[in-house]
Amino acid sequence: MTKEQQIQPNLLEQNNAPIYEALKEFSRKHVVPFDVPGHKRGRGNPELVKLLGKQCIELDVNSMKPLDNLCHPISVIKEAESLCAKAFGAKHAFLMVGGTTSAVQTMVLTASKKGEKIILPRNVHRSVINALVVNGATPIYVNPDTDKRLGIALGMKISQIEKAIEENPDAVAILVNNPTYYGICSNLKKIVELAHANNMMVLVDEAHGTHFYFGENMPISAMAAGADMSCVSMHKSGGSLTQSSVLLTGENVSPGYVRQVINLTQTTSASYLLLASLDISRRNLALRGKEAFAKVVEMAEYGRQEINKIGGYYAYGSEIINRDSVYDFDKTKLSIFTLDIGLAGIEVYDLLRDEYDIQMELGDIGNTLAYISIGDRMREMERLVSALYDIRRRYHKDRTGMFDHEYINPSVVMTPQEAFYAPKEEMLPIRECNGRICTEFVMSYPPGIPILAPGERITQEIIDYILYAKEKGCSMTGAEDENIERLNVIKEATTY
């Protein structure tokens, strides 16, 4: 049997979309709705129908026997999850409607519990640390290197992982960001080998790596590397609706237990619009993903070349690979360093949106990111390049006095759970918090990587960074004080 003949039956199977097909059949029957949702196929809310369309509202239905139930799937949802697992090369797949935040938290809650250690990079998404607040596990942070020019955190070095394992042989898991928001990939396969040799699970936040499973010549995917669990934001580069995601597991993870953990926090009223979008998107990528992501890479590479010709900007790519802290690079990520034109990334982000009607994915102190995916077209890429050229022409200035780094290594004093629930002093003005222990989060969103997390000591460098980020227009979130003018800190009488 040829390789093509071996693949063909799988492709035929992937042509199915069980949830979508069940919804179409349900729609044909005109079932009288004496159940929720209360809009009753839109009749009770005509303005919502006008906004979203009749077909969309009619498919916003509740769980019922013909449509299965996400909390305990036995029919069409189970079939869809099985097809999803096969498409991603996983043992099991779970459709998630609480975003990849819910999937990340499921991984952490599955792998660890109160008092147990989990090794992870500090530049994780807030959802990871939120999970530690909930379950009380102890983070063992691997502080990644930073690129001195770009100011961004890089991947975890193997030497750093080895050191963390040697110093914490009782750790139960290692969590890896792969890729990061900026496209940085770690040596995932080697990390898996080290972890499994030391009886530790490997959890991968693969939110930005859907295309690793379907494109060619991509960095290795978590499942291909042998990871135990991975979460994939299908809505980011995979084309499904916002908030829909997939959780993948390997051979040695109990699917029944994972389902129990999911059901601790995920809704019992799953949106069939989100579920159907996952089902259809999986089918689309399984059948057409190879060609689609080849075009994505082509667009991103074109954008990199043209932006770098402008001068002043640096759209970085595979040239930053060093096979260590940058083991590989996601070529679909079009990250643009802006400081050499005298503008912060967030300033370029704001200019693109306000003056050129171009919405970027993120803007931070030194970078802005164009998220390229299957829905993009070359004409929009050319429009972005032209706008960046115009911004440089109109707004270029000297960069003296600008901050040049995104990531500050924190001093961790307490676990996130201990700090979050510890006795708090009245909120102090942020300028008076130097040396105190923070009990809450402070972060720019996106990317949602905490500048401060519960249990970390506040330093003058961090205070200066927060004030500078606010001044430049970064969207700051996480703290109780929505203006981030005051912070919750541990009472001074408490000693740590």
Q: What's the confidence (pLDDT) of residue 254?
A: 98
Q: What's the confidence (pLDDT) of residue 1?
A: 36
Q: What's the confidence (pLDDT) of residue 5?
A: 37
User: Using an 8 Å Cβ cutoff, are 58 and 28 in contact?
Assistant: no
Q: What's the confidence (pLDDT) of residue 139?
A: 95
Per-residue model confidence as pLDDT tens digits over 145-202: 989 889 899 999 999 999 999 999 999 999 999 999 999 999 999 999 999 999 999 9
| Mean pLDDT within 114-127 | 94
Per-chain mean pLDDT for the chain? 93
Per-residue model confidence as pLDDT tens digits over 2-43: 434 334 447 779 999 999 999 999 988 888 889 999 999 999
Distance between CA 225 and CA 250 in Å, rounded? 10
Distance between CA 37 and CA 40 in Å, rounded? 6
| Mean pLDDT within 404-417 | 83
Q: What's the confidence (pLDDT) of residue 7?
A: 41
Residue 492 reports pLDDT greater than 60:
yes
Distance between CA 340 and CA 326 in Å, rounded? 23
pLDDT level of residue 496 (50, 70, 90 thresholds): low
From the number of C-beta atoms within 10 Å of its C-beta (0-12, 13-18, 19+), residue 289 rates as: buried
Give DSSP secondary structure letters for 3-36. HHHHHHHHHHHHT--HHHHHHHHHHHTT----SS
Domains of the chain: 3-17+66-287 (3.40.640.10), 31-65 (no CATH), 289-395 (3.90.1150.10), 411-487 (3.90.105.10)
Q: What's the confidence (pLDDT) of residue 434?
A: 95
Q: What's the confidence (pLDDT) of residue 4?
A: 40
User: Using an 8 Å Cβ cutoff, are 96 and 247 in contact?
Assistant: yes
